[in-house]
Amino acid sequence: MKDRFNLYRFASPATFYPLAGTLIPYFAAISVIFGLAGLYLGMLVAPTDFQQGEGYRIIFIHVPASWMSMFIYLVMAFWAAIGLAFNTRLSGMMAQALAPTGALMAFLSLWTGALWGKPMWGAWWVWDARLTSELILLFLYIGYMALTAAIDDARRADKAGGLLLLVGVVNVPIIYFSVKWWNTLHQGSSVNLTKSSMAETMLWGMLLMAMCFWMYSIAVALMRVRTIMLERERNTDWVKAELGGQVAGGKK
Amino acid sequence: MIHWNSFADFLAMGGYGFYVWGSFGATALIMAIEPIMVARNRKTTITRLQRQMRAETRAENRNTAE
């Protein structure tokens, strides 16, 4: 019961805004710590891969970026579903705030993938199922941002964008399982829940980097959502107070 | 515990230097620029909203004075 009460409380922008402001530095600091630890293990300690030499080290950003690009999309689709079902104010803002970071992660996944593909496969790009579905993910992010930016009314933009997100969510399992469902040039997953095909230091380096990317994404999305809140709630008392009591005092 | 014999060794990445550093460089660049852009956008948004708010308050005060 208590949890429920809290959840509703933080669903209000007026409560969420200061909470997010307090949390951002912690997420940023944790991200830096995980990142330094991950880079240390991955770039300085981890051994050479017996097949790919030192080139495999791209994995320490390629996999975290790819995971985040899929995960952020799922979170956005979750918020879209909540927003469409319950018409909550915060959900649209959350999806808005996550989109650019998700798009950058998808871009980084493709970029590092190209730089990894060239020496290993001899091609920057191939129309392989994994690569193509990840490219579609990038287009979905861009499409969502373009669509919501084109609609002036924020609530209607959220609704249209939310539908796009929910339709596009089918692409995420396609990306994830593409290496199993089709014969792809892209290698199979290096890690799954039961076993891993990597040396221990490699695995830990990658997991730490994934945590770093995760915390980074949360910090940046929280920064962005705070600005969106001010913009969208500009006619409320709490935003007026936030923007400067001396000006808001004029009316009272 | 350190895998590399020298700094040059580390930079060369066993011949994959261009690909490895191209990946890490782009990532570092994006992760440095994105927060800066977000912070800058926040600043300009706040200034704009404050300006709008002041304009509105002035307009309201004028109306009540009449």
- The alpha carbon of residue B44 is apart from the nearest alpha carbon of chain A, in Å, by 10
Give yes or no for a contact between A58 and A117, defined as CB atoms under 8 angstroms apart: no
Least confident of A19-23, A111-115, A242-246, B25-29: A242-246
The residue ranges of DSSP E strands in chain A, in sequence order, are none
Selected for mutation to probe chain B from A68, A227, A230, A232 (highest B CB count within 10 Å) is A227
Give the 3-state secondary structure of residue A49: strand
Task: Report percent pLDDT > 70 for chain A.
Answer: 90
Domain ranges of chain B: 7-65
pLDDT, one tens digit per residue, over A19-56 is 999 999 999 999 999 999 999 999 999 999 888 899 99
Residue A164 in tokens: 């796009």
Does residue A72 contact residue A98 with C-beta atoms inside 8 Å? yes
Q: Give the rounded distance of the alpha carbon of B43 from its chain centre.
A: 12
One-character DSSP codes across A164-197: HHHHHTTHHHHHHHHHHHS--SS---SB-SS-BS
| Partner-chain contact A243 B24, CB within 8 Å | no
Q: Cβ–Cβ of A112/B27 closer than 8 Å?
A: yes
Which chain A residue has the Cα nearest residue B5? A44
Report pLDDT digits (tens) over A92-129. 999 999 999 999 999 999 999 999 999 999 999 999 99
Task: Write out chain B in H/E/C secondary structure.
Answer: CCCCCCHHHHHHHHHCHHHHHHHHHHHHHHHHHHHHHHHHHHHHHHHHHHHHHHHHHHHHHHHHHC
The helix/strand/coil state of A53 is strand
As a whole number of angstroms, the distance between CA A208 and CA A211 comes to 5
Contact A107, A146 (CB under 8 A): no
Residue B53 in this model has a pLDDT that exceeds 50? yes
Interface of B with A (CB under 8 A): 1-4, 10, 13-16, 18-20, 22-24, 26-27, 30-31, 34-35, 38-39, 41-42, 45-46, 49-50, 52-54, 57, 60-61
The answer to whether the beta carbons of residues A222 and B34 sit under 8 Å apart is no
Q: What is the DSSP letter of A117?
A: H
Give yes or no for A9 touching B (CB within 8 A). no
Instruction: Write phi, then psi, for A232 (nearest 5 degrees).
Output: -75, -25
- H or E element that contains A16: helix A13-39
A236 with A14: CB under 8 angstroms? yes
pLDDT at A3: 53
Distance (Å) from the alpha carbon of B13 to chain A's nearest alpha carbon: 5
Q: In the structure, what pLDDT confidence band is assigned to residue A185 with cuts at 50, 70 and 90? A: confident
